């Protein structure tokens, strides 16, 4: 019994989900690094962005586990909710109010132009990562729905293979026993046939 259509979808979705979670993990790390580049000693506003990045990193790490362990998916949903809200809020704030965000930083590391450029890069990273997390959420639900079907298909396929192997083993054992019985019968005929021939020869001489 081969894997069904939903089983193939589950496997492909799991592989894609692993890739997307790696992108999310990379995006979270990049956002934290960019924030520390913009401000060495983070202000309150910077810490909010850093916390969102930490949630994103945790979401990516848990996502890598939840792709193969169903029990981690609920925890990933919680982390996804916090990180998506934080990332998209950060991207929206920087896009719509770049001056206010820049002024909210206490001690920017670089000059205004460099800080503005880094903030633009940060907003792009957070927006892209947030969109990827939306795809992760959708695919995660699909994988968890298809995974159960795939799981039982794998069990059924394994049982079928085991039954087939057991049947073949029984056939081999039966052929082996039959061969032993035939060999033993031939040995008995050969052994006792000689005694019978000798007995008949002696009787003829008398």
**What kind and span of H or E run contains 147?**
helix 112-205
For the chain, the domains span: 5-161
CB 45 within 8 A of CB 104: yes
Q: What is the pLDDT along the chain (206 residues), one digit of tens a residue?
A: 445 555 566 667 777 888 888 999 999 999 999 888 888 887 888 888 889 889 889 888 887 776 555 556 677 778 888 888 888 888 888 888 877 887 777 666 667 778 888 888 988 999 999 899 888 888 777 766 655 444 445 555 566 677 778 888 788 877 777 777 777 777 777 766 655 555 555 544 45
- Sign of dihedral through CA atoms 196, 202, 204, 206? negative
Tokens of 5: 């259509």
How far is residue 131 CA from its own chain's centroid? Answer: 21
**Residue whose token pair is 């193969």:** 68
DSSP states along 151-203: HHHHHHHHHHHHHHHHHHHHHHHHHHHHHHHHHHHHHHHHHHHHHHHHHHHHH
pLDDT of residue 145: 66
Interior CA angle at 134 toward 86 and 66, to 5°? Answer: 95
Interior CA angle at 126 toward 22 and 103, to 5°? Answer: 150
């Amino acid at each position: 019994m081969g894997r069904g259509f939903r089983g193939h979808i589950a496997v492909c979705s799991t592989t894609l989900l692993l890739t997307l979670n790696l992108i999310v993990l990379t995006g979270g790390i990049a956002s934290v690094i960019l924030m520390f580049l913009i401000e060495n000693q983070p202000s309150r506003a910077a810490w909010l962005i850093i916390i969102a990045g930490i949630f994103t990193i945790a979401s990516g790490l848990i996502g890598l586990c939840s792709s193969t362990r169903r029990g981690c998916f609920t925890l990933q949903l919680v982390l996804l909710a916090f990180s998506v809200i934080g990332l998209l809020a950060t991207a929206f704030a920087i896009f719509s109010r770049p001056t206010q965000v820049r002024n909210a930083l206490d001690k920017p590391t670089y000059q205004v132009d460099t800080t503005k450029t880094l903030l633009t890069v940060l907003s792009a990273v957070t927006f892209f990562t947030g969109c990827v997390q939306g795809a992760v959420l959708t695919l995660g639900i699909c994988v968890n729905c298809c995974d159960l079907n795939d799981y039982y298909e794998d069990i059924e396929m394994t049982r079928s293979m085991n039954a087939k192997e057991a049947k073949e083993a029984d056939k081999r054992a039966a052929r082996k026993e039959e061969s032993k019985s035939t060999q033993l019968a031939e040995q008995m005929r050969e052994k006792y046939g000689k005694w019978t021939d000798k007995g008949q020869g002696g009787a003829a001489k008398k």
